[in-house]
Copies of this chain bind each other. A is one copy, B any other.
Amino acid sequence: MQKALPIITFALLAATPIGAQERPALAPSEIVAAAPKADWSAIAPSDLLVMDLASDTKGKPRRVVIQLMPPPFSQGWVGNIRKLAAARFWDGLSVNRVQDNYVVQWGDADGEDKAKARKLPGRLVTVPESEYVTPIVAAPVGAMPKTKPALANLQIFDIYVSQDGSDLLRGAGTSGFSMGWPLALLPVNPRKDNEDSDTDVTGRQVVASWPVHCYGMVGVGRNLSPDTGSGAELYTVIGHAPRHLDRNIAVVGRVIEGIEHLSSLPRGTEALGFYKTAKERTKIRSVRMGNEVFGLPAYEYLSTDSESFARYADARANRRDAFFIRPAGGADVCNIPVPVRRVK
């Protein structure tokens, strides 16, 4: 876990107290639509993985666009995935598993059979389990822009974020957003000189962080520990967030367009949702990096440290638009999906 610690400023989510706004207020989607251009961040095509499935029964194309995670998260696996795409590894393989309220998985259906398995490209790295968690340094509250209320009511308590065996009732950490991604955040004590401190010698808070399994997130299939998966076998979440997989499997990205081509596939009838017969599988025509795909639209995400995102997150947690009679007063990190759209 000892490595260079990039400095990341966390968005401290703002929330206007209930009653301070007139009802009906804007819906989350309206806040996103009204966000100024400056609040959007471009996604580099070279960070996209474009999977074209065989056309559907009506001949319609089925394209799934995946955004890969940025550094410092899961980069060993992300690097492997880039090599696999460059080697055209997935072309002609298939979607082999669709388990309701859980995952859709694709890769080599014969991957476990050494005689039949497609050969993996060379130069893939074996990533250690320690890489499921990344130590980062968060800016102290005092370093936040003055326009944002500090530590507002939407820094999200998260029951899945705790040390092993401690604080099981209430957890010890929170979740939040950084660089456009939902992350778990667990304070750690980096100083030997002060047992109670969770800041380093410069006063910055040190946090153990990991990407979380929300709907649409993409992870790396693996065998039993100590295997961590190469990245050749991938899945995406199509149900309630299976957060028990956090810190147990690598999260490497998220589907930003076309998830319906995976989530609406027929469920497999064998154990774990695997298809019983080969003909039930959906064929993968090709997987390419976005910069290799001619005519691919440009995509952007709502910057998670923007005022617009803070208002959007608050509105997700406290719906005050016309349909709602009672705001919830909170939202879990997976119920605040980061808005992503095609650049207009």
Contact = CB atoms under 8 A, between A and B. Distances in A.
Q: How many copies does the complex hold?
A: 2
B243 A215 contact: no
A169 B155 CA distance: 7
Interface string A13-28: 0010111000000000
B162 A159 contact: no
Given A155-B169, A215-B239, A264-B265, A162 B329 contact: yes
Contacts of A322: 224
Interface stretch (A78-86, A141-149, A244-252): A244-252
Contacts of A243: 328, 331-332, 335
Interface in A207-243: 214-216, 224-225, 239-243
A164 B326 contact: yes
Contacts of A132: 326
A214 to B, nearest CB: 7
Given A157-B170, A244-B335, A335-B241, A100 B329 contact: no
Given A153-B169, A157-B170, A316 B100 contact: no
The residue in A57, A328, A331 that gathers the most chain B C-beta atoms within 10 A of its C-beta is: A328
Given A100-B259, A225-B325, A267-B264, A240 B129 contact: no
Interface string A311-344: 0000011110011111111111011010000000
Interface in A242-273: 242-244, 246-248, 259-260, 263-267
Interface string A150-178: 00011111011011111111110000000
Contacts of A216: 101
A141 B295 CA distance: 64
A279 B11 CA distance: 46
Interface of A is mostly: loop
A248 B259 CA distance: 28
Given A17-B165, A167-B329, A248-B325, A100 B260 contact: yes
Contact of A324 (B57, B159, B248): B248
A103 to B, nearest CB: 13
Contacts of A264: 98, 100, 263-267
B160 A329 contact: yes
A343 to B, nearest CB: 21
Given A267-B264, A335-B240, A335-B242, A326 B224 contact: no
A165 B260 contact: no
A322 B192 CA distance: 35
Contact of A159 (B157, B169, B244): B157
Contacts of A171: 157, 329-330
7 contacts: A100-B260, A132-B326, A160-B330, A244-B328, A248-B319, A263-B267, A264-B265
Closest 5 CB pairs of A and B: A159-B330, A153-B168, A162-B329, A260-B267, A18-B165
